Amino acid sequence: MSIAAQIDDLSFAHLGTDLPALDRVSLFVPAGESVALLGPSGAGKTTLLALLDGRLQGWAGRVSVLGAPLDPDHPPPRARRPDTGFVFQEFALVERSTVLRNVLNGRLGRMSPLRALLGSPTAHDLGIARTALADCGIADLAERRVDSLSGGQRQRVAIARCLAQEPRLILADEPVSNLDPARAGEILALLTAAARARGATAMFSSHQPDLARRFAQRIIGIRGGRIVFDVPTSELNEDATADLYRDPKPMPGIGLRAVS
């Protein structure tokens, strides 16, 4: 079986913090799966995705992505890992550039260094970018500047850029948190269907259990940096989900009191 990500006994604290953002996490994700990470604010979802994306250093434990171990002290530069794609919550697009140029940026890691430097795509790169635009339903926006687009359209551009990279692992950090419920469903449908059609693995974080249920095969609950459940979507339990979001420490003096 091909492996998208394997994590063994991983602990990590951000610089300048004492509490670990991830605490003894172990995880195995076979290739092709779609996985949702659920958990309250500060649970460690973004940290886990950033770590798999090779953007963090100095963890304890073992991490391998697409079969290659990541060195905790020297993860390879992002540009040298085009097989892993990332969709950011805040899109991270070049606002004053066109949609097509932004999507072509997803090809940079696949181009020769000279072409990447000159920003000169081949016909093959252009074909892949146009296919990604069409798959995301925004072929007609190719020449529009990003700063003229709505939030939902920007999110489609961010996904198209990621698809143009031809990643085998797609990581997405709250990719629909800025969208209304109908748009959020459309975008997650698009992301997971595009991953499936390409045989890629998709891992996305969310605060919306209903969307996770609809679009993920597997749901991982994280709280306080630890995995508290990891189940096939069909086995997700309402109580476990509610527990995940329960207030950790009620404020002293606040609560229900009998009124005499």
Ligand X SMILES: Nc1ncnc2c1ncn2[C@@H]1O[C@H](COP(=O)(O)OP(=O)(O)OP(=O)(O)O)[C@@H](O)[C@H]1O
Which residues of this chain interact with ligand X, rule CB under 6 A? 14, 17, 21, 39, 41-47
Between residues 14 and 80, which has the closer beta carbon with respect to ligand X? 14
**Closest distance to ligand X from the beta carbon of 166 (Å):** 26
Q: Is 99 helix (H, G, I), strand (E, B) or coil?
A: helix
Distance CA 88, CA 155 (A): 9
Between residues 19 and 94, which has the closer beta carbon with respect to ligand X? 19
**Closest distance to ligand X from the beta carbon of 196 (Å):** 25
Exposure on the CB side of residue 168, measured as CA atoms within 13 A: 13
Between residues 140 and 243, which has the closer beta carbon with respect to ligand X? 243
**Closest distance to ligand X from the beta carbon of 221 (Å):** 11
**Closest distance to ligand X from the beta carbon of 155 (Å):** 16
- What are the helix (H) ranges across 111-227? 113-118, 123-135, 151-164, 181-197, 209-215
Between residues 102 and 205, which has the closer beta carbon with respect to ligand X? 205
Distance CA 156, CA 95 (A): 14
* CB 20 within 8 Å of CB 13: yes
**Two structure tokens written together for 124:** 């093959």
